[in-house]
Structure 1
Amino acid sequence: MKEEEFTIVKASGEKVRFSIPKLKKSLRRSGAEEHTVSQIIDAVRDELYQGISTKEIYNRAFALLKKSKSIYASKYKLKKAIYEFGPTGFPFERFVAAILQYAGYQVKVGQILQGKCVSHEVDVVAEKDEEHIIIECKFHSDRKNKCDVKVPLYIHSRYSDIIANYENGNNCPTDGWVVTNTQFTKDAIAYGTCSGLQLLSWDFPKNNGLKDRIDRLGLYPITVSTLLTNSEKQFLLGRDIVLCRQLLKDTFYLDHLGVSEERKSNIISEIKLLCSETSVNEQH
């Protein structure tokens, strides 16, 4: 049986045809060399069966990447790493703020802004030059949950109320954003685009979604590390260390965790590689 004839099951329960090109693309995003990608494709192809889950395929590919080079596995698990921010959405808000901060914005998290009618708690406020952005972050710990049209409808009404309060004042917000770690439905995208909201999800806008920005800027979440334990990651998140880059500046947290010097050196080396290498080799 040809590989494209195998049916695989997504996390949502949806059944789709297995796609070698899609798997190859995701493996290449990890930065793995072409021969490594080919070896993993061959290994996964040999283990296919009808009804295999995307989770099983991911776990197999992840294990093979980690065996080849841990940094490949770290970059490959980017999407899963963001889900590990849970269960609350606060680390995700800090993560979005950190991405904007590294892009040159002055950011604040959890601000109360007065609208014309009522006050509103805004997840992130970002300013740079003439831009004054207010951002609502929608974090989902379950990848099956998408942001439907009710989300931009609600956010647009809040944004409009805040704007109305600034009609005759300075520093009026110039943009309203909705950022999610999952996806928007077609209606959500249609309404957001029509109403003038900026939507940012895992893969939207095309070629400039969350995953693209993270890869392009090398702003990987601390949860991508394959060397830190889950409890260590939660310790760091609890101290607002959401980016690998931040841990490089505050390595003393590893001492607080009682990490040995040898392991500390390995963790720092892994993170330095993550922050310095591009996610996709130039030949790709």
Structure 2
Amino acid sequence: MEIVKSSGEKVKFSMFKLRNSLKRSGADEDLINLIVDRVRDELYQGISTKEIYNRAFALLKKKQSIFASKYKLKKAIYEFGPTGYPFEKFISAILQFSGYKTEVGKVMTGICVKHEIDIFAKKNGAVTIIECKFHSEEGRNCNVKVPLYIHSRYMDVKKHWETKENSDLIFNVGWVATNTRFTEDAIQFGKCAGLYLLSWDYPKDDGLKDRIDRLGLYPITVSTLLSAREKQFLLSRDVVLCQQLLHDKFFLDHLGISDSRKQRIMKEIELLCNR
């Protein structure tokens, strides 16, 4: 059975991939079997991955919203759009929970020109600069032009940094982070040029989705109880992680949310943050 991806590419339907994505949501084996059987019964030639996702999501949400929240992780990151700024804040927050001290939008001097760097990070006596490439539309990947461009900026800043006297911080490898995927050429160039690439599923077992699941750092947009307006309000206040809302519950008061609904939302948030 052929299905159509968001990019328009036709691929064979994989029961294994569907099962794996459902397992990541935390659903038990009985529920996974139920959803797989339902989806399989409704398959037809040329069905879109979006239709398959919507069906599985609806069934998960009907059984338990926390499973649906985790299942919609990839889609939730697209909801950061249309600008890439919330995604930069999101990557910065993930790095902070990994022991980095970060600044977003720092202006740095290069040998040739000045550059506004998406994320400036420090850890263990080393400096890392991270450039983020956010796509708000599904099906768009980062081709080789992205790491090529970012590598030239990285080298300009690095050369200037190394002219500074008495700097006690080592200039570390540059990063490129995206919410989608890199093409094979982009990965090959990254390896050759010494850039660290971070995408939805790269590096293997340590991509964005793996880090989020491992650290419990889910974006606020995964919530199935908050409305789109409420999510945008929180993002505009730099609340990008569920972890942040645990400590900044007062933002829900600004939204005029009732006590009973607030309790349901906070219960969902607590479950998401519980690793």
Query: What range describes the TM-score normalised by the shorter chain of this pair?
Result: over 0.9
Matches within 5 A, 1:122-133: 122-133=117-128
For the pair 1:225 / 2:216, whether they are aligned, the reply is no
Distance 2:153 2:163 in 1: 18
Counterpart amino acid of 1:190? Answer: Q
Q: Does 1:59 align with 2:57?
A: no
- Give the ranges of 4+ consecutive aligned residues of structure 1 lying more than 3 Å apart after TM superposition: none
Correspondence for 2:105 among 105, 110, 128? 110
CA drift at 1:241: 0.2
Separation of aligned partners in 2, 1:117 and 1:54: 46
**Distance in 2 separating the partners of 1:161 and 1:92:** 24
> Which of the residues 193, 206, 227 maps onto 1:208?
206
Equivalent position SS for 1:175: coil
State the Cα distance separating 1:192 from its structure 2 match: 0.6
1:234 counterpart = 2:232 = yes
Q: Secondary structure at the match of 2:181?
A: coil
Residue 258 (1) aligns with residue 256 (2): yes
Is the contact between residue 107 and residue 127 of structure 1 (CA under 8 Å) also seen in structure 2? yes
CA deviations on 1:188-212 (whole Å, 9 max, x unpaired) are 1000111000000001001110000
Is 1:272 the counterpart of 2:270 in the alignment?
A: yes
Q: Could you tell me which residue of structure 1 aligns to residue 30 of structure 2? A: 35
CA contact (8 A) 2:5 2:139 kept: no
CA distance in 1, matches of 2:2, 2:64: 30
The counterpart of 1:159, out of the listed 144, 154, 157, is 154
Q: Deviations over 1:91-111 (max 9, x none)?
A: 000000000011111100000
Amino acid at match of 2:189: Y
Question: Over aligned residue pairs, what C-alpha RMSD do you find?
Answer: 0.8
Contact 2:141 2:182 in 1 (8 A): yes
SS at match of 1:268: helix
State how far apart, in whole Å, the 2-side matches of 1:55 and 1:143 are: 10
Distance 2:74 2:132 in 1: 16
Give me the whole-angstrom Cα distance separating, in 1, the residues matched to 2:112 and 2:12: 51
TM superposition shift of 1:172: 4.2
Alpha-carbon distance in structure 2 between the residues aligned to 1:161 and 1:7: 46
CA displacement, residues 119-158 of structure 1 (integer Å, 9 cap, x when unaligned): 1110001111122110000000012211111111111111
Q: Which moved more, 1:261-270 or 1:130-139?
A: 130-139
Gaps of 5+ in 2: none
How far apart are the structure 2 equivalents of 1:143 and 1:124? 24
TM-score by length of 2: 0.97
Q: How many residues align?
A: 272
| Aligned 8 A contact 1:166 1:172 in 2 | no
Provide the C-alpha distance between the structure 1 equivalents of 2:170 and 2:183, rounded to a whole number of angstroms: 29
Checking the alignment, whether the CA contact within 8 Å between 2:125 and 2:170 is kept in structure 1 is no
CA apart distance, 1:173:
2.1
Tell me which amino acid in the other structure corresponds to 1:155: I
Q: Of 186, 189, 207, which aligns to 2:187?
A: 189
In the alignment, is the contact (CA less than 8 A) between 1:219 and 1:245 conserved in 2?
yes
Alignment partners' CA distance in 2, 1:54 and 1:88: 25
Contact 1:66 1:73 (C-alpha < 8 Å) held by counterparts: yes
Aligned residue for 1:198?
Answer: 196
